[in-house]
């Protein structure tokens, strides 16, 4: 019988405290997402933007890789957008 | 628009529900939490939560992807896809809400369209849309 690694289980209070106090590292997250997108782009020889426009929302989307690719792209795109607007606000304030 | 702090609280609450379901199912691997925290932050920005729990000794993992909206200051699961995957990225079963199927493999209308399940033979079956039901279906594969 396989031996499973013991996992440290958190209480609800600990879980919320950990999650709510965690500070987002958007640069690191975007780099990780970009790497994942690159893997799919290489595998299917298609840019993520094109994939999202052509495949997402159609029956072709109905496979694991594409569902994952679409979710990663959604995350990447939204964070990119929020970073961009934050930079614009900062530039407006500075300017 | 919902403030980020409140959005994060809703997403954390949902992530906690998922965490409990996965922990009750089987002892998930170490490392799940650090990913959870990062994914919660990503979900605040993108309204898309992606969680993975792996059982490396069984060569299996569960991938949970949920997309949220926040109408009337509540978290609503707009769409989802949950999959049990084995090594080689072969999907064993998958439940999702993509509106691409109206009927099951018996040609009967799906009981709760658009929710459906791709069973281990790749057939379309009716599905409740509840993550808890999906997790129950994965249990026999993770023993």
Q: Where are the domains of chain B?
A: 4-92+131-142
**Domain assignments of chain A as residue spans, ordered by start:** 45-95
CB-count burial class (<10 Å; 0-12, 13-18, 19+) for B85 = buried
Paired sense of beta strands B90-96 and B116-118, if any: antiparallel
pTM (2 decimals)? Answer: 0.88
Mean pLDDT, chain B, rounded, equals 91
Alpha carbon of B64: minimum distance to chain A alpha carbons (Å)? 10
Q: Is A88 on the interface with B (CB under 8 A)?
A: no
Structure confidence at residue B76 as a pLDDT band (50, 70, 90): very high
Q: Give the 3-state secondary structure of chain B.
A: CCCHHHHHHHHHHHHHHHHHHHHHHCCCCCCHHHHHHHHHHHHHHHCEEEEEEEEHHHCEEEEEEEEEECHHHCCEEEEEEEEEEECCCEEEEEEECCCCCCECCCCCECCCCCCEEECCCCCEEECCCCHHHHHHHHHHHHC
Task: Give A45's DSSP letter.
Answer: T
The ipTM value here is 0.84
pLDDT of the residue at B136: 95
> What is the helix (H) or strand (E) element at residue A85, kind and residue range?
helix A64-94
Task: Please state, in angstroms and rounded to a whole number, the distance separating the CA atoms of residues B110 and B18.
Answer: 25
Q: Select the residue of B33, B57, B91 nearest A64 (Cβ to Cβ).
A: B91
Band of the pLDDT at A2, cuts 50, 70, 90? very low
Q: Pick from B26, B46, B57: which is nearest to A75 by CB?
A: B46
Provide the number of CB pairs (under 8 Å) joining chain A to chain B: 102
pLDDT tens digit sequence for B88-112:
889 999 999 999 899 999 999 999 9
Torsions phi, psi for B29 (to 5 deg): -70, 155
Q: In B, which residues are within 8 Å of A74 by CB distance?
A: 46, 48, 67
């Amino acid at each position: 019988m396989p031996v499973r690694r013991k996992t440290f289980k958190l209480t609800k209070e600990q879980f919320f405290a950990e999650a709510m106090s965690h500070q987002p590292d958007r640069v690191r997250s975007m780099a990780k997402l970009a790497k994942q997108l690159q893997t799919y782009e290489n595998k299917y020889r298609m840019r993520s933007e094109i994939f999202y426009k052509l495949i997402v929302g159609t029956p072709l989307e109905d496979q694991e890789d594409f569902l994952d690719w679409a979710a990663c792209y959604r995350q990447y795109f939204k964070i990119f957008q929020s970073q961009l607007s934050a930079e614009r606000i900062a530039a407006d304030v500075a300017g | 628009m919902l403030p980020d702090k409140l959005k994060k609280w809703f997403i954390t609450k949902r992530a906690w529900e998922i965490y409990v379901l996965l922990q009750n199912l089987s002892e998930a691997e170490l490392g799940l939490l650090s990913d959870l925290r990062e994914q919660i932050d990503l979900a605040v920005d993108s309204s898309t939560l992606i969680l993975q729990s792996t059982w490396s000794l069984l060569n299996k993992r569960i991938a949970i992807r949920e997309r949220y909206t926040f109408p009337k200051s509540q978290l609503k699961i707009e769409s989802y896809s949950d999959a049990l995957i084995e090594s080689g990225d072969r999907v064993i079963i998958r439940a999702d809400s993509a509106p691409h199927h109206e009927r099951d493999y018996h040609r009967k209308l799906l009981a709760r369209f658009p929710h459906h399940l791709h069973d281990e033979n790749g057939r379309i079956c009716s599905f409740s849309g509840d993550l808890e039901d999906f997790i129950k279906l994965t249990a026999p594969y993770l023993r």
